[in-house]
Amino acid sequence: MPYLNVWSSRTNCLISEQELASSSTSVFTWRRTESWVLAYSLPHNSTSDHVSTRNKPKFRNQDFCLRTEFVPFRPQKKDSFALTQASEEKDIHCDVVKQNSQSFTSGEGGVEGFTCLQLEEKGDLTNNVEYGDVGSEEYEAGRVKGEKVDVRALAQSLHFVKTADEVDEVLKDKVELPLQVYSSMIRGFGKDKKLNSAMALVEWLSRRSKDNIGSISLNVFIYNSLLGAIKEAGKYNFVDKVMEDMVSEGVQPNVVTYNTLMRIYIEQGRELEALNLFREMPKKGLSPSPASYSTALFAYRRLEDGFGAITFFVETREKYQNGEIGNIEEENWEDEFAKLENFIVRICYQVMRQWLVKGENANTNVLKLLTDMDRARLQLSRAEYERLVWACTREEHHVVAKELYNRIRERDTEISLSVCNHIIWLMGKAKKWWAALEIYEDLLDKGPKPNNMSYELIVSHFNILLSAARKRGIWRWGVRLLNKMEEKGLKPSSREWNAVLVACSKASETSAAVQIFRRMVEKGEKPTVISYGALLSALEKGKLYDEALQVWKHMIKVGIEPNLYAYTIMASIYTAQGKFNIVDSIIKEMVTTGVEPTVVTFNAIISGCARNGMESVAYEWFQRMKTQNITPNEVSYEMLIEALANDGKPRLAYELYVRALSEGLSLSTKAYDAVISSTQAYGASIDLSILGPRPPEKKKRVQIRKSLSEFCNIADVPRRSRPFDREEIFTAQTKGT
């Protein structure tokens, strides 16, 4: 059965309208030059197949005969209507009439390219003629001599009518127009949201048909146009009435009717009912058109059912390959199926993107849909993969992002640098720093060349890893991270060097701290007060007091002012040497320079005394805290209580414990046990009930770990690594060594 194909340049689309069932052959078509085109089928002895115009109508002769046959305009290589619209996530339209504003309300003085139509009548116009019943050359349609019809003006005159009587007032003295002109006006009214005018015009046509006035009668084309107008106007409550009128008029729905209803249901959010309509078509003896299949796919898109869409497409492909569909030559199924394939890929992309934005089981669903696409031999483009990467913004999305990245790398030689940077950022957010480093390594090895953003992102990840190593004293990994940075062309700053120095200090790795400090200077990085403080701490723990004094003097010489941490370390060093006069001068210097000593400073002195068997001196410095208006904390009491208990002074230790309780401090079980043990050992008569119950065990502080495997667990880095070689401290290891 022939089809009328209307092409809209606005949407670059091609649709099929099945069985227009009209005697007249004129239809308006929108062209790229935004002009109206009027096409007529000419007699078989004519030298032209159709007539068209861009600026104004040009006919081979003015006395032509109308035939009951429609001339198809089928521009090649245009996307089908539903495919184009649905892929842009807009409404699916099926427009018969297109103007500059998609309505009758724009422009002055008629339609561009076609203002008036010269119609000549030689006989009566007939209408109920099927496409296969077109007459021979002797058949002639009627003419109306000398009568001109301005279609735009006619439509504008009906723009505000609301009843059939008002339509009759306008059209009663007008020439009887081809049925397609009425259909076009109905569509235009829908575009202009003038559904009352469209309904009134259909009612007027129905009244004339019942009264046997003229040769016009309602057919499926008119009702399809009215359904399209309802869809454009969004007045879906009229759909049931129109369908009831079709039944009462004995007009059977065709494929276009079902397609329009499916689109209306989709607009109403009734996607499942739209799919049921699609399944109903074969039961009614109708063969779904390509637009039917694309509309059904769009219903799956609205449902965000990517799995159902793929299943539907695979079944459709099997039917097409088996010859069960696509046998109508006019539908050009070879091109249409290619468009369907592009459409399903677009749908899968949009559904996955929506899942990622909403974040509901996104990882599982996206990865499963990608697998289903592979099984269905469907592939996203590189641009679509990259847009999906940009949709990965949550920590849990790192799995999807890495999968998409691998797919791009395996398929294409190029990838956007901004996408790589986004993945590096996301991996860091998900605490997958080593995976981020792998992306950066790919940039160095495969391209594109990393930029400043890449550099800053990966350095920030290194800082996170180095901070973890610093806090836990995992100095070996700190050294390896520095080496890895230099290996990848990243220049460590003082921040990175200091992190490794502090890690060495916490791990009491004096020699490693000294070598890292020297290497830092050799690389041209100027040490800061934190660098000197970490080195002083490491030297103190190694009891290299003379070397620590040299470092201190050098720090002063190069103009770096000591901070509280550096002063505290030097006070601890001189305390261990028993040089309390120098300790006292350090305290005075701190006050003079504006660096006020804190409880930490006095705790360092007290602990130094306790470790070196100077319990009485420790108690003196504890008392001195009062003169400095410094309040002791738990650490102050615990260290002094343990020292006094071990020195055989259980009563003094007991008094300090009770005093701490009165101040609201919560001491450790170690201090409690020290008081109890000392009291029992020296037979002191003390009321232990005042101490109260044994305090609960405190949470263990961060332990200093030296094992590389510990860092692998903390920083999510690969366990497979060679044993640490102390030579790594001195220089970065090159590849292959």
Query: In whole angstroms, how large is the CA radius of gyration of the chain?
Result: 44
Q: Which of 79-83, 127-131, 240-244, 580-584 has the lowest mean pLDDT?
A: 127-131
Q: Is 211 helix (H, G, I), strand (E, B) or coil?
A: coil
The residue among 205 and 703 whose pLDDT is bigger is 205
Q: Give the mean pLDDT of the chain.
A: 78
Q: Which residues pair with 13 in a beta bridge?
A: 8, 79
Task: Band the pLDDT of 216: cuts 50, 70, 90.
Answer: confident
688, pLDDT greater than 60: yes
Mean pLDDT, residues 235-248 taken together: 92
- Looking at the chain, the whole-number percentage of residues with pLDDT higher than 70 is 74
Pairs from 146-151 (Cβ < 8 Å, separation ≥ 24): 146/120, 147/118, 147/119, 147/175, 148/116, 148/117, 148/118, 148/119, 149/116, 149/117, 149/119, 149/174, 149/175, 149/177, 150/110, 150/115, 150/116, 151/28, 151/111, 151/114, 151/117, 151/181, 151/184, 151/185
Residues 138 and 135: their CA atoms lie apart, in Å, by 7
Read off the pLDDT of residues 158-195 as tens digits, 9 standing for 90 and up.
989 999 999 989 888 777 788 888 888 999 999 999 99
Task: Band the pLDDT of 2: cuts 50, 70, 90.
Answer: very low
Q: Which residues pair with 6 in a beta bridge?
A: 15
pLDDT computed for residue 699 by the predictor: 63
Residues 264 and 108: their CA atoms lie apart, in Å, by 33
Task: Band the pLDDT of 61: cuts 50, 70, 90.
Answer: very low
Task: Band the pLDDT of 707: cuts 50, 70, 90.
Answer: low
Residues 507 and 484: their CA atoms lie apart, in Å, by 21
Phi and psi at residue 117, to the nearest 5°: -115, 125
Residues 389 and 403: their CA atoms lie apart, in Å, by 9
- Looking at the chain, the whole-number percentage of residues with pLDDT higher than 90 is 55
> Is-cis flag, bond preceding 650, omega within 30?
no
Q: Which of 79-88, 412-421, 494-503, 520-529 has the lowest mean pLDDT?
A: 79-88
The residue among 203 and 18 whose pLDDT is bigger is 203
Sign (positive or negative) of CA dihedral 470, 475, 478, 482: positive
pLDDT computed for residue 683 by the predictor: 81
pLDDT computed for residue 218 by the predictor: 86
57, pLDDT greater than 50: no
Total-model pTM:
0.68
80, pLDDT greater than 70: no
Q: Which of 151-165, 476-490, 624-638, 718-732 has the lowest mean pLDDT?
A: 718-732
- Residue 703 CB neighbours (<10 A): 8
Six token digits for residue 565: 């941490």
Q: Which of 72-86, 291-305, 351-365, 644-658 has the lowest mean pLDDT?
A: 72-86
DSSP strand pairing (79-80 vs 13-18) = parallel
Six token digits for residue 687: 């009321």
**370 vs 303, 314, 315, 367, 416, CA distance in Å?**
18, 15, 18, 5, 21
Q: Is 730 helix (H, G, I), strand (E, B) or coil?
A: coil
Read off the pLDDT of residues 87-111 as tens digits, 9 standing for 90 and up.
444 333 333 333 333 455 544 333 3
Half-sphere exposure (Cβ direction) of 41: Cα atoms closer than 13 Å: 22
Element (H, E) at 292: helix 290-303
C-beta of residue 537 within 8 angstroms of C-beta of residue 505:
yes
389, pLDDT greater than 90: yes
Six token digits for residue 621: 């410095």
C-beta of residue 8 within 8 angstroms of C-beta of residue 79:
no
One-letter-per-residue 3-state SS of 553-600: HHHHHCCCCCCHHHHHHHHHHHHHCCCHHHHHHHHHHHHHHCCCCCHH
Phi and psi at residue 118, to the nearest 5°: -90, 115
